[in-house]
Structure 1
C-alpha cells in the first residue's frame, strides 16, 4: 500500500503526457479507453483545449471489445477518421484497460499505417507512470519519424528547446519568456518541443548547435539528437537573473565545445532544517540553483517523479510515495511546493506555494508565477 496517496494528489499520467506533447503538431492522437475518459485530460491537464484546435480522440472501448480483444472497430474508426481529417501522423496510446487485455499497439499502428499511408505509431502508455514518461516517449518518437537526417548545421548560433509542455510550464508566458531570453542571449530558435512549433520546424531540429532541455521529458530526445547529429544538450530552466546568465554562458560553451552539461545539478544540496523545493528534477533543480546564486543559500530538492542520477545533485532525495514526502517534510525548515502538498506539511515548517499544473491541474493555474529571467522574491522565503 506504499503507493497509495491518502492525502495528497497524484501527478498527471503518461497518457496525458503523450497528448500534451503532441497537441500542437497536427497529428491525430487516439486514446484507447472507455468513452468519457478523454475529459480527464481535456478538463484537468490541457489548458490549451479551448484556444487551439487539436485532433485528440477517445476510442470508446466497450466491455465486449475488451473481453473479446476485438480491435477491428478501433482500426476502422481510425482509418475512416484519418481519411476525413488528413492528419500529419496518427498516434495511438493505451490505458489501464488496454494494458490489462494486452493490446498490441505496434501491430495496430502497422495495420493502420498500411491502410492510410499516414505515419502511424503506437505508444504503450498504461496510466501507471507520470506524464514525463508519456511526453518523453511521444517526443522521441516524433523526432525519430520526422527529423531530417541530412539537415546541415545552421550558420548562426541556434538552439532547440526540448521538453516544454503546459504540464510543467502552464500557459502563463514562461515558455515565451524562455524564447525571448534565448534571443537576447544571441541564439536563434530552431524549434520548441512542443509549444509554439509545428512539425515542419521540428523536422529541422538537427540543424541546431545546442539543445536546451527544460524537463526530464526532453532528455531522451536530446540524447537521440546528440547520437544522430552530435548536438550537445544543456539541462536547465533560466530562473532568476543570476542563473539565467550562467545558463546562457553554459549554452554558448556547449555549442562551441560539443560537450553536454547539466548546470541545474551543479550545486550543493541543502541539509536538514533548511529550504526544500519539490518538483520535476530539472525544474526544481534549476530553481534551487537560482536561489543559491541569488542568496548563497543551499537548497535541497525533493523529486517525486521519474528522473536520472545525471539530473540530481548529491543530497537530493527521491520521494516516490506519500510516506516519503511526509518524512522529508518533517526534516525541512521551509518547503516550496504545490499547494496540494500543504496538508502533509508539519505546522512548524514554513510552506510556500508554487503551483504545478501537472499536480494540481487548473485549481491554482492563475497563481503560477513566471520566474524566467526575473529577480526572485526571496525575502519572505529565506
Structure 2
C-alpha cells in the first residue's frame, strides 16, 4: 500500500489533463466514461468552467454498452453533436472502463473523421496516469495535426529559396491552469519576456487560439515552461527543426532564461549557415535546461514539492536570490533529465512523508501541511492540479510567495 493516499489528495488525472490542454482551442473533447470523469473535472480541476464555454462532453457509457461493445452508439452521438456544433476538431479520451475493455479509440476516431469531415484523433488516456501524461499527449497531437509548415520565400536576385523564422520570437509550451493558475499568471510571464525583447507567437494553450498555435513554426525557439510541453517541443523540433529551452521565467531566474534563449538562437543560426555550406544538418538535438545549471548542493535548507520544471525553476530563482540550497520533490510522472542530482521523484504519500521528515523549510500546496514535520517552517504555494479551486482567490490576489 505504499502508493496509497489516506491524508493528502491525488493529483489531477490524465483525462482531465486532456480537457485542460484543449479547453480553449475550439474543439470537442469527449471522455468515454459513465459520468465520473466529467464531474470530477468540472467541479475540481477546471477553474475556467464557470467563466468560459468549451465543448467538453462525457459519453454516458452504460454497463450494457460496455459489456456488449456497442461502439456504434458512441460514434452516432458524437457525429450528431458535431454536425450541430461544428467543432474545429474532435478528441477522444479514454477512462478505466474502455481501457479494460480494449476499446479501439484510433479506429473510432478514423471512422468519425471519415463520416464528419472534421479532424478527429484519439488520446490514449486511461485514468491511471496523472495530468502531466494527458496534457503532454494532447499538445503533441495538436502539434502533429495543426501546426503549419513555414512558407518558402524566394530571393529573385540571388535565385535562392529560403525558409525563415521571425527573429526574437518564441512559443510558450506547457501552459495550463493546472500548473499556472488563472490567466493573469500566463499574461505576466509573457510581459516579462516582452521586457527582454522576446515576442510570444503562441501559448500552448491558455489565452490563445488554434489559429495562433498553427503558426508555431514561425517562432525562432520554443520555451518549455512545464514538463507537459516537452513532447510538443520534440515534435516541433522533428518537424521544423525548432530548438527549445526548458525552464519557467520566474523572479530573477528570468534573466537566465533570456540569456539561454539568446545563446540557443545564436548557435542555431551559426549551425544552419554552416550546414547550408556543407549541405548537411548539424543542429544540436540537445535541449538547454538552465535551471539545472549552478544549482547548490548541501546543506539543503529548503524543499519544494510539485511539477519538475516549474519547481526546478523556482528553486533556481530562490538559490540565486537567497544563496540557500533547495531540493525539489516531484510526486508526478516526469521525463528523465528534468531534475537536479539531489532532487527526488516521490511515489505515494508515505514516500513523500519519509522524504520530508528532516526538512527545515517546505514550500508546497497547503494540503501537504498535514504530512509535514511540525518542526518545519511551511510556506503555502497552491497548485491547482493538487488542491483545485480551494485557494484560487488567494492566487488571483497574489497572496502566495509574491516576493520571489
Same fold (TM over 0.5): yes
TM-superposed deviation, 1:149 = 2.4
Q: State how far apart, in whole Å, the 1-side matches of 2:17 and 2:81 are.
A: 23
CA distance in 2 between counterparts of 1:261 and 1:3 reads 33
Aligned counterparts of 1:179 and 1:99: Cα–Cα separation in 2? 39
1:98 aligns with 98
What is the CA–CA distance in structure 2 between the aligned matches of 1:40 and 1:173, rounded to whole Å?
A: 24
Q: Structure 2: how far apart are the matches of 1:267 and 1:321? A: 30
Deviation at 1:172, TM superposition (A): 5.6
Q: Which residue of 2 aligns with 1:252?
A: 262
1:308 to 335, 342, 363: 335
2:290 is equivalent to residue 280 of structure 1: no
Pairwise CA distance, 1:229: 1.5
Q: Is the 8 A contact 1:90 1:118 kept in 2?
A: yes
1-structure distance, mates of 2:319, 2:396: 19
Aligned 1:44-55 pairs, distance under 5 A: 44-55=44-55
Alignment of 1:170-209 (within 5 A): 170-171=181-182, 173-209=184-220
Q: Which residue pairs with 2:357 in the alignment?
A: 330
Closer/same/farther in 2, CA of residues 8 and 291 from structure 1, 3 Å limit: same
Residues 19, 269 of structure 1: CA spacing in aligned structure 2 closer, same or farther, 3 A cutoff?
farther
Question: Is the Cα–Cα contact under 8 Å of residues 270 and 276 in structure 1 kept in the other structure?
Answer: no
Distance 1:10 1:193 in 2: 25
Given that residues 212 and 236 in structure 1 are in contact (C-alpha distance below 8 angstroms), is that contact kept between their aligned partners in structure 2?
Answer: yes
TM-score of the pair, normalised by structure 2: 0.89
SS of the aligned residue for 1:156 comes to strand
Contact 1:153 1:208 in 2 (8 A): no
Q: 1:377 — aligned with what?
A: 403
RMSD between aligned residues: 1.8
| Aligned partner of 1:221 among 222, 232, 235 | 232
Cα pair 1:174 1:370 within 8 Å, conserved: no
Match of 1:358 in 2: 385
Number of residue-to-residue matches in the alignment: 375
2:242 corresponding residue in structure 1? 231
Specify whether residues 172 and 77 from structure 1 end up closer, same or farther in structure 2 by C-alpha distance, changes over 3 A only: closer
CA contact (8 A) 1:167 1:356 kept: yes
Conserved? CA contact 1:272–1:332, under 8 Å = no
| Aligned partners of 2:167 and 2:219 also within 8 Å | no
Shift of 1:273: 5.9
Alignment of 1:43-192 (within 5 A): 43-151=43-151, 152-171=163-182, 173-192=184-203
Q: Is the contact between residue 150 and residue 218 of structure 2 (CA under 8 Å) also seen in structure 1?
A: no
1:346 aligns with 2:373: yes
User: SS in structure 2 opposite 1:144?
Assistant: helix
> SS of the residue aligned with 2:122?
strand
Report which of the two structures shows the higher radius of gyration computed on alpha carbons: 2
